[in-house]
Amino acid sequence: MSDGTLKTLTVSSFKGEVKERIREAIITGELQPGERIVETKLARLFGISQVPVREALRGLEEEGLVRSVLYKGTYVSEFVLREIYHVFLLRTQIEMTVLGLVVPTLTDRHIAELQAIVDEMAEVDGDADYRVQSGLDVRFHGRIIEWSNVETYRRIWRMLSGHVRRFISLMHPTYFTEQHKTAVEQHEELIQVLRTRNLDEIQKTFTDHVMFLWYEHGEAWLQENATE
């Protein structure tokens, strides 16, 4: 275990913050698949009691990011490559449903908010940390999910997007660096199609975008890791 994301936590025992820091450490690969998570060690590192750490791990187990083994402890979940296609597919289906709710009430203010995020993407150095670049992508899509005002969609989408980010981090850690320009262009395209308010075209463009990484690399990764 390195001490990048985890080392920066100097807050009180607010469990949401603790959970988020551990979650990010797993997603970005700072905590590796199969690595044991020791509650006492994290508690000392964060300067808090074990209670919020234990509660955070319980929540992460519900997301499928950690697993508890009786009498042995808690471990970062192993990455199951053959399931990732279904994760991409489920995320796409949720975004399509949400777009059906959001597009009819989409305003210029909403689009301006998304444009500001894309402008920030464009200004980011192509060699920027993975957390920065993937974080902006999550902000863009996450805002649309939030506008649905459906908590179930928010919760499930966030869980799925975490698994997608973890997949990219573990299988293709330089993806956002190599594809920085493409990512910006794709998000600009999403904004342009949103301006049309044409739901069919919007859903098609978003589907192509969300599934892009899988279309480009997923099948090849499955073949290369056929024993997974």
CA distance 162 to 19: 13
Task: Name the CATH architecture for the domain at 15-76.
Answer: Orthogonal Bundle (1.10)
Domain boundaries, the chain: 15-76, 83-224
CA distance 66 to 163: 12
User: 86 burial class (0-12, 13-18, 19+ CB within 10 angstroms)?
Assistant: exposed
Residue 59's pLDDT is 94
- Does residue 25 surpass a pLDDT of 50? yes
CA distance 43 to 207: 41
Mean pLDDT, residues 34-58 taken together: 93
Count of CB atoms situated within 10 Å of the CB of 143: 14
Q: Are the C-beta atoms of 29 and 170 separated by less than 8 Å?
A: yes
Locate all alpha helices (DSSP H) within the chain, ordered by sequence: 15-27, 39-46, 50-62, 84-102, 108-123, 130-146, 151-171, 175-178, 180-196, 199-210, 212-213, 219-224
Domain 83-224 classified CATH 3.20.20.70? no
Query: Structure tokens of 170?
Result: 């573990």
pLDDT in tens, 121-160: 999 876 666 778 888 999 999 999 999 999 999 999 999 9
pTM for the full predicted model: 0.84
pLDDT in tens, 68-105: 999 899 999 998 877 888 999 999 999 999 999 999 99
The structure tokens 């074990």 sit at 50
- In this prediction, residue 13 has a pLDDT band, given cuts at 50, 70 and 90, of very low
pLDDT in tens, 160-179: 999 999 988 887 766 666 77
Secondary structure (DSSP) of 93-136? HHHHHHHHHHGGG--HHHHHHHHHHHHHHHHS-TT--HHHHHHH
**DSSP assignment, residue 76?**
E
3-state secondary structure of 66: strand
Residue 60's pLDDT is 96
pLDDT in tens, 168-221: 888 776 666 677 888 899 999 999 999 999 999 999 999 999 998 888 777 677
